[in-house]
Structure 1
Amino acid sequence: MSELSTLARPYAEAAFKRAKEVGAAGIWSDSLAFLSVAIQDKELAAIIDNPRVSKDQLTQLMVDICEGQIHDEAVNFLKILIENDRLKLLPQIAELYEQYKADDEGYVNVEVYSAYSLTKEEEKKYVAMLEKLLNKKVHATVTVDKSLVGGIRAKAGDKVIDGSISGQLQQLAKRL
């Protein structure tokens, strides 16, 4: 995964830099998200992996699929990725792009895993706590994970805050 991120980083940086230049961060975000989802389709992935499909054929297919879904500069970006055999990096490029966008706009995307469904009040409480801890505005996505037994685990980029019972049990096992 880190190798893919290393390869994807220059493309994500270039896309973000261009998006900032033209004031189209949201448009680029939508385009990269669409492309990322599109190439993960099983049938399209098989075509991408097929050595008999030329770059020109793949480019035409992708342009046809994306027509009306992505903006013109993203089409050019797509062509560059195909030409450089980097099309499979799109999910990592989109993820890195979103991190750059979040950093630039002063927020952080946090995945919150809870052992049970959170009420709106509990969610607000946890978001406020995370904002104070991370010193940034938090955009949280809450997911129920019964394996936590109790408590929550929050993941912001590569930082993990584990307040779950299962996490505490693992720490206790390591110490013993």
Structure 2
Amino acid sequence: MKGARPALRYAKALLNLATDAGNETEVNNNMKLIADTIAESSELDAMLKSPVIKAADKRKVLTALFGDKVNNILKGLFNILEENKRMVMLEPIAKQYAVIYDYHKSMQVAKVTTAVPLNKELEQRILAKIVEITGNQANIENIVNPDIVGGFILRVGDVQYDASISNQFKELRREFDNSHYIPKI
């Protein structure tokens, strides 16, 4: 991915500043807001990536959009990105910050694949089970895949638990294929 290394450097610097100021969680929430907003708005994404629009104008748009919603550390980031003409890197920086923040706080990302979106109650039960099993907090990333028919696939770190119905069908098919049953008809 082009620009991943500089984005990681900016994210590390932001985390160090936020940790020194004691508000790394607030900065993380602000970075999630920025990443989600850019991901949801194709116009904002196109504006940030446009080489025709001046960096100062991009900063003005970001300040108008996020001015009262983000803290001073991120306003400083907008200024630095304007000076270095790297406004296009705002979304990758926000994503990298979330990754290193989770690592800093010893939080894991649990990927839960389901046939339908998770509701809040089920999400809380899964989080409690993850803490019980691993001893660490986790953030849930819900991936909806109707091909698994039902059940779920849970992946935390390098451990995967497949309780999907499609997997059970595959196991049943494998048992029938390996069966030595000879019909007596």
TM exceeding 0.5: yes
SS of the residue corresponding to residue 68 of structure 2 reads coil
Is the Cα–Cα contact under 8 Å of residues 17 and 73 in structure 2 kept in the other structure? no
Larger radius of gyration: 2
Between the aligned partners of 2:161 and 2:4, the Cα distance in structure 1 is: 24
Between the aligned partners of 1:58 and 1:166, the Cα distance in structure 2 is: 48
For residues 125-164 of structure 1, the aligned pairs below 5 Å read 126-131=126-131, 133-156=133-156, 159=158, 161-163=160-162, 164=164
Distance 1:92 1:52, change over 3 A: closer
SS of the residue corresponding to residue 112 of structure 1 reads strand
TM-score (norm 2): 0.70
TM-score (norm 1): 0.73
SS of the residue corresponding to residue 53 of structure 2 reads coil
For residues 63-142 of structure 1, the aligned pairs below 5 Å read 63-115=63-115, 120=121, 124=125, 126-131=126-131, 133-142=133-142
Question: RMSD across aligned C-alpha pairs, in angstroms?
Answer: 3.3
Is the Cα–Cα contact under 8 Å of residues 39 and 88 in structure 1 kept in the other structure? no
Query: Structure 2 regions of 5+ residues with no counterpart?
Result: 175-185
Between the aligned partners of 2:127 and 2:73, the Cα distance in structure 1 is: 36
Query: Structure 1 regions of 5+ residues with no counterpart?
Result: none
Shift of 1:123: 6.3
Distance 1:68 1:53, change over 3 A: same
Identity among equivalent positions (%) equals 21
Distance 1:51 1:15, change over 3 A: same
